[in-house]
Structure 1
Amino acid sequence: MKKTMLALTVSLLITTQGCSDSTIAPEINNTQSDSKSLAVEQTASEKYLAMVDAFFQDQLKLEPIYATFVGVNDYNDQFGGSLTEAYLTERHQLNSRYFDLAKSINVEQLSAPLKLSYDMFVYDRNMELIGETYPERFLPINQFYSTVFTMVQLGTGESAQPFKTVADYKNWLSRLRGFIKWTELAQQRMDEGIASKVVLPRVLVEKIIPQLDAQLVEGAQNSLFYSPINLMPDSFSSDEKSELTQEYQSVIEKELLPALAQLRQYVNDVYLPNSRASDGWWGLPNGKDWYQHLANSHTTTTLPVDEIHQIGLSEVARILSEMDKVREQVGFKGDLNAFFASLSSEPQYFFTDKQDLIDGYMIIKDQINAVLPQYFDVMPKADYIVKPVEAFREKSAAGASYESPAVDGSRPGIFYINTYNLKAQPKWGMTTLSLHEAAPGHHFQIAIKQELTDVPQFQRFQGYTAFEEGWALYAEYLGIEMGVFNDPYQYFGKLSDEMLRAMRLVVDTGLHAKGWSREQAIQYMKDNSPMAESDIVAEVERYMAIPGQALSYKVGQLTILRLRADAEKALGDKFDLKGFHEQLLTTGSLPMAVMENKIATWIEAQSAN
């Protein structure tokens, strides 16, 4: 256990930051004498909780769309500054102010859970401040994650944005106008990126153009942004419906569609000719250092990218050996590459009807749910549904994804399946995908986190990719013990998905730190997996767009498995798997070092019992 690592890191971070009385938040240190007296009487825990609550409220105000997603509707009419200089300044001041405030807390007087929370809070503020030193603002859009996608999803009326009252409908129009201004700011930031040579690879820009084309429809009624008009409650009067219909038609036709058309023209005529030929972050100014930061940020570790690359090569070799054992078990006569080709092409491994694929996942849901109580004492209150990815984003979307339930319980979690290409959705991959995206993977971890009542608010909604994706990949591993991989083909599916995460360590670092080309990365994945080529291309282009994110899955899983092995070895017969899972799920998402400290403390407590 590296229990001292985080404490040392936090200590170093705090001592390297200056402190100014002028930055103390008024909620914590008011200048009036009565408030000073009250502050003296506060315990360390009270002071910490007041601080993080004030931070959370300030963060919601700064990030109004985030507020909507976490169920706070006070800012539903606001889009947020996002790319403005004022926003960037305010974000920096927010993180600096609360980083300094954290130093006024006597950490030794905090309870064990709040010490854990404190470590998370300090870690977050520091990583945010480091991240500001890189010009991410010059890359406001890509083909995988996009504000345009987010706004379309919100505007359909089927996401977090509420459309229950007339005020809700007017709030959305106000937010939509903020988005329209964002399209202009995005072009300005991309102009700055062109001047600074911080631009996307050409192949990614080419993928953005048809995504924007999909929104450029004839007439407001054909726009997805018109969807709320078709969902107006019966409680609205005829006058209210008429007024809202006219307003939506006007804003969409006269403001939104022209703005999106202008953005599309800019991307095609200005940005595309200035895009870069290199495929990885190494091709950007200071790109290798930037990539190392992104790798650290996403994995919540300090692993050098060269070491991550080597871990990936080792894992790929191990998993290939396991795959070959399955080939032998099922009696396939050809070699492993022939087995890959068979699994990727023969008709019996694929559905021909999209609804059959969705129905198949519902059957798997019931099978997994039946055995979950044997492995978990804590489960989410919210359910999840299985739903196909929307048509407007299915061409570039991942094969599957998960959207968390509404915080107030009004909407279940959503397990999205991309039905665009059924040849990319083999039957043998369904069990592992369900374990990962739904239960006990993302749905358990994220829904339980949101439902926590005894942690600070920020902790319920803060997320770390390494923890969340590491947990989901661990959930796939747990499927072996749960007995849901009795079919060797389904077990092969588990290995195939694990291979994807192992290849990511190789390919992501190859692209961004070792000068690999897009084609080289695609070929590596084709040589080492049975994935459909369309999936491989989408994966590689995803890594190109959001470097470092794909590293977090395998690094997180390996960390969780190591911690479990440590606990099993230390506790022997005292080891309780349900208890171990409860430790991982009931304090929210954690940086790897914080998680290591928590499990070390738990092992000590269990040993003493």
Structure 2
Amino acid sequence: MSPSNLKLRALISALTLAVLSLPVAAAEQPWVTKSNANAKLLLNVVAKYSPEGASALGVDGFDEQITDLSRDLFEPTNKDLRAVIAEMEKRLKAETNPKVRQDLEILIGSAKDQMRSNTLDRKYFLPFNDLTQTIFGVVRSTLDPRIPKERQKTLLVRLQKYAGLAKGHRPVTELANERLRERLKANKNLLGPYKGEVEQAINNSPTLIAGMKDLLAKSDLKGWEPTFAALEKQLTDYNAQVKAQILPRARTDHRLPPEVYANNLKQFGVDIPPQELIAKALMSFAEIRNQMNITAGLIARERNLPNADYRAVMLELKKEQIPNDKVMPLYAERLAQIEEAVRKQDIVTLPSRKALIRLASAAENARSPAPHMNPPRLIGNTGEYGEFVLTTGMAPDASGKSLAFDDFTHQAGTWSITAHEARPGHELQFAKMIETGVSTARAVFAFNSVNVEGWALYAEAEMQPYEPLDGQLFALQARMLRAARAFLDPMVNLGEISPEGVKGFLMDEVGMSEGMATQEMQRYTFRSPGQATSYFYGYQRLMETRQAAEVALRKKFNRKAFNDFVLAQGLVPPQLLRKAVMQEFVPAQGK
């Protein structure tokens, strides 16, 4: 895909379906019902132009529909977005409920953001569709074992439409090539995708196709074989065309036009200039490094290690790799230990049900190499919850070389990643929204990486004091990485460091494996430029809000009450969270 449209793309890719037979979500408050009626205006536009995305969000009635690539969607999409904005601005003038007004402002802002991204995309870039990755994502989410069997059957219809075997449909591979030629004819000066992105898409394709076939073979679907055989040939031919036609047009300079990168940062929730972000992150990196050397020195003394430098101590600890068959049992044990500490220390309210953790498949490693959480649908949720997916390496490159991770399969490395992706991090964050009945505007359209990832990094920090020394060292390493991201991502996009320089720095100074450093470098340069900065910035903004509440309340400050309140707000951006804390939480606690 092309480099903009980030907010919707990030949202859709993040909100993977996860349907379970669990308790029903909280009943809607009247203001939420009214707000959700307003949000439906924007959801209808999402569903019209990205039905796969609408399904992933939980919107009913679109499971058999696919994105229409038979025509250029730029003008129709923006026309519909302008109409929605006009209607919501009209409703805003008449609305008196402050929460509904705030949600209308969120919805209007989201629609305007989407239009801005569409316009920049149109201005600068050739349309590049990694169709194999897109279709794999649809297959993976639909055939999730937690999805009802009846709903899984809709995948057969979608696959027939993708392959052009359904009445009124042509193969999506043909349509994507038509849109490419159409834009080339209109403007020969459009920028191609980054060369590394195209090469990675080509390299990943066989793994993703094999992953789709494996998922279908293990499913209960009948008669998928002829359709998939046609689609497999089409995708294979399409990727050969990508290699022959798009790769020669790919740009060798990974850097985005400055206004595109600035827009990326804004879409992810970073509202300060890149240079200011770099300065803040460099300072934080140095402070964390000092803390790491103190902790590493204590571990070296405890274990009689000859070198107390944090890099040397981490290398020693990473040698204690866990056998493959012991990885998941260890993560289950680690989660139980973290939950026990959360309850004992009154950090946040936890549910009684178990969190879900599993290993990624080879195809999932290719599609999304970093460990991640598959959140539940946030619309029409009936008690579904997310899952922590532990990835194990990079897909093979052009030479066939695979890069395994050693970062999360040693004892000390399991603490922070579990706190971040499971509890009290992402898994709890999304579960709380379901259980408290957050409005669609706050759960979906206020979504930005700053608020999501800021909470997860904050959750790591909350747990660090209750971990053993080796776990604390790698908790600090995780925080160091987020600070490094916040200066390396903008620096590489401003041309102040090379991609190889990024990779080398992460391996030498942060202590990452070559595989993890490679996927990090790819994240900054083409997978999602700007997104990696959101962890550090979100954590800083959340800590600022907490400290402001502590100053206001002093001895009346209650950590558990604060954390529960933050989670109940949904995925709102930092300025709205700060307002809620200071105007609602602080007065209520101060009584």
**Normalised-by-shorter TM-score class:** 0.7 to 0.9
Match of 1:405 in 2: 376
User: 1: CA distance between counterparts of 2:264 and 2:444?
Assistant: 21
- State yes or no: 1:389 paired with 2:360: yes
Q: Separation in 1 of the partners of 2:243 and 2:290?
A: 46
Q: 1:540-594 CA deviation, whole Å, 9 max, x = no partner?
A: 0111111111111110010000000000001112222222223221131012222
The reply on whether 1:461 has 2:451 as its aligned counterpart is: no
2:542 paired residue number: 560
The structure having more radius of gyration, on CA atoms, is: 1
Distance 2:139 2:31 in 1: 44
Partner in structure 2 of residue 55 of structure 1: 42
- CA distance in 2 between partners of 1:450 and 1:92 (Å): 31
Name the CA distance, whole Å, in 2 between partners of 1:586 and 1:335: 46
Matched with 1:446 is 430
TM-score by length of 2: 0.81
* Matched-pair contact (CA < 8 Å) for 1:350–1:422: no
Equivalent residue, structure 2, for 1:472: 456
Note closer, same or farther for the CA distance 1:146–1:173 as it changes in structure 2 (3 Å cut): closer
Q: Deviations over 1:142-189 (max 9, x none)?
A: 69x94144134236x226865326953543434544798433344445
Evaluate the alpha carbon distance shift between residue 524 and residue 348 of structure 1 in structure 2; reply closer, same or farther with a 3 A threshold: closer
Distance apart, 1:69 and its partner CA: 2.0
Please identify, of 593-602 and 145-154, the stretch whose mean Cα deviation from structure 2 is larger: 145-154
Kept in 1: contact 2:492–2:525 (CA 8 A)? yes
What is the Cα deviation at residue 402 of structure 1?
Answer: 0.6
**Mapped contact 1:382–1:409 kept (Cα < 8 A):** no
Quote the offset at 1:113 in angstroms.
Answer: 3.0
- Mapped partners of 2:522, 2:347: distance in 1: 37
What residue in structure 2 maps to residue 13 of structure 1? none
Match of 1:541 among 522, 528, 531: 522
Q: Distance in 2 between matches of 1:340 and 1:104?
A: 58
Asked whether the equivalents of residues 401 and 437 of structure 1 are also in contact (C-alpha less than 8 Å), the reply is yes
Aligned twin of 1:38: none
Of 161-170 and 97-106, more deviation after overlay is shown by 161-170
Q: Which residue of 2 aligns with 1:90?
A: 76
User: Aligned-pair distance for 1:131?
Assistant: 1.4
* Cα pair 1:45 1:111 within 8 Å, conserved: no
Alpha carbons of structure 1 residues 319 and 124: separation in structure 2 relative to 1, 3 Å: same
Cα deviation digits, residues 6-50 of structure 1 (max 9, x gap): xxxxxxxxxxxxxxxxxxxxxxxxxxxxxxxxxxxxx99987554
- Larger RCO (CA under 8 A, 6+ residues apart): 2
Letter in 1 for 2:530: G
Classify 1:97/1:169 alpha carbon distance in 2 versus 1 (closer, same or farther; 3 Å): closer
Is 1:323 matched with 2:297? no
Aligned residue for 1:386, secondary structure, equals strand
Q: What are the within-5 Å matches in structure 2 for residues 117-132 of structure 1?
A: 117-132=103-118
2:196 to 199, 203, 206: 203
- Separation in structure 2 between the aligned mates of residue 94 and residue 382 of structure 1, nearest angstrom: 42
Paired residue secondary structure (1:402): strand
What is the aligned partner in structure 1 of residue 245 from structure 2? Answer: 270
Structure 1 segments (4+ residues) deviating >6 Å: 43-47
Distance 2:66 2:135 in 1: 12
TM-aligned CA distance change 1:186 to 1:315, over 3 Å: farther
User: After superposition, what is the alpha-carbon deviation per residue over 1:365-414, rounded to whole angstroms, capped at 9, x for unaligned?
Assistant: 11122233454665458643211111123256334111023564576422
Retained in 2: the 8 A contact 1:296–1:302?
yes
Residue of structure 2 in register with 1:224 after alignment = 212
Where in structure 2 are the equivalents of 1:570-581 lying within 5 Å? 570-581=552-563
> Which residue type is aligned with residue 371 of structure 1?
A
* 2:10 corresponds to: none
How far the C-alpha of 1:108 sits from its partner, in A, is 8.7
The Cα of 1:62 is off from its aligned counterpart by 3.5
| 1:188-587 alignment, distance < 5 Å | 188-189=178-179, 192=183, 195-215=188-208, 224-225=212-213, 227-228=215-216, 230-232=218-220, 244-245=222-223, 248-253=224-229, 255-281=230-256, 287-298=257-268, 300-331=269-300, 339-344=310-315, 348-351=319-322, 353-373=323-343, 374-375=345-346, 378-379=349-350, 383-395=354-366, 397-405=368-376, 408=381, 412-420=385-393, 421-425=404-408, 426-453=410-437, 455-462=438-445, 463-481=447-465, 483=466, 485=467, 487-545=468-526, 546-587=528-569
* Aligned mates of 1:511, 1:371 — CA distance in 2: 39
Q: TM-score, normalised by structure 1?
A: 0.79
CA distance in 1, matches of 2:561, 2:506: 38
Contact 1:474 1:557 in 2 (8 A): yes
Counterpart for residue 55 of structure 2: 68
Assess, with a 3 A threshold, how the Cα gap between structure 1 residues 65 and 312 changes in structure 2: closer, same or farther. same
Quickly say closer, same or farther: Cα 1:523–1:52, change in 2 above 3 A: same
Structure 2 CA distance for aligned equivalents of residues 48 and 411 of structure 1: 22
Shift of 1:100: 1.8
Contact preservation (8 Å) 2:524, 2:532: yes
SS of the residue corresponding to residue 416 of structure 1 reads strand
| In structure 1, C-alpha distance between the alignment counterparts of 2:196 and 2:348, rounded to whole Å | 47
| Whole-angstrom distance in 2 between the partners of 1:345 and 1:208 | 35
How well do the aligned residues superpose, as a CA RMSD in angstroms?
3.2
Do the aligned partners of residues 334 and 311 (structure 1) sit closer, same or farther apart at CA in structure 2, a change above 3 Å counting? farther
Q: Counterparts of 1:379 and 1:53 in 2: how far apart (Å)?
A: 31
- Tell me by how many angstroms 1:230 deviates: 4.1
- Answer yes or no: is the 8 Å Cα contact 2:406–2:513 preserved in 1: yes
Specify every segment of 5 or more residues in structure 1 that has no aligned partner in the other structure, as ranges.
1-42, 218-222, 233-240, 282-286
1:84, distance to aligned residue in structure 2 (A): 5.8
Distance 1:449 1:45 in 2: 13
Q: Unpaired segments of 5 or more residues in structure 2?
A: 1-29, 394-403
* 261-270 or 499-508, which deviates more: 261-270
CA contact (8 A) 1:142 1:204 kept: no
- Paired with 2:320 and 2:63, the residues of 1 have a C-alpha distance of 45
Contact 1:340 1:530 (C-alpha < 8 Å) held by counterparts: yes
Moved more, 93-102 or 560-569: 93-102
Q: How far does residue 226 in structure 1 lie from its aligned partner after superposition?
A: 6.3
Distance 1:96 1:501, change over 3 A: same
Cα pair distance change 1:379/1:54, threshold 3 Å:
farther
- Residue 473 of structure 1 and its aligned partner are, at CA, apart by 0.5
Q: Indicate the percent of aligned positions where both proteins have the same amino acid.
A: 19
CA contact (8 A) 1:119 1:594 kept: no
Whole-angstrom CA distance in 1 between matches of 2:417 and 2:232: 37
Distance change (3 Å), C-alpha of 1:73 and 1:173: farther
After superposition, give the CA deviation of every residue in 1:430-473 in whole Å (9 maximum; x if it has no partner): 110001011111101122223443x4334333421110011101
1:158 maps onto 2:151 in alignment: no
The aligned length equals 534
Q: Which moved more, 1:190-199 or 1:526-535?
A: 190-199
Paired residues of 2:419 and 2:459 also in contact (CA < 8 A): yes
Question: Is the 8 Å Cα contact of residues 373 and 426 (structure 2) preserved in structure 1?
Answer: yes
* CA deviation map 1:218-247 (0-9, x unaligned): xxxxx7346445432xxxxxxxx8xx42xx
Contact kept, 8 Å, 1:387 with 1:417, in 2: the verdict is yes
User: Aligned partners of 2:157 and 2:333: how far apart in 1?
Assistant: 40
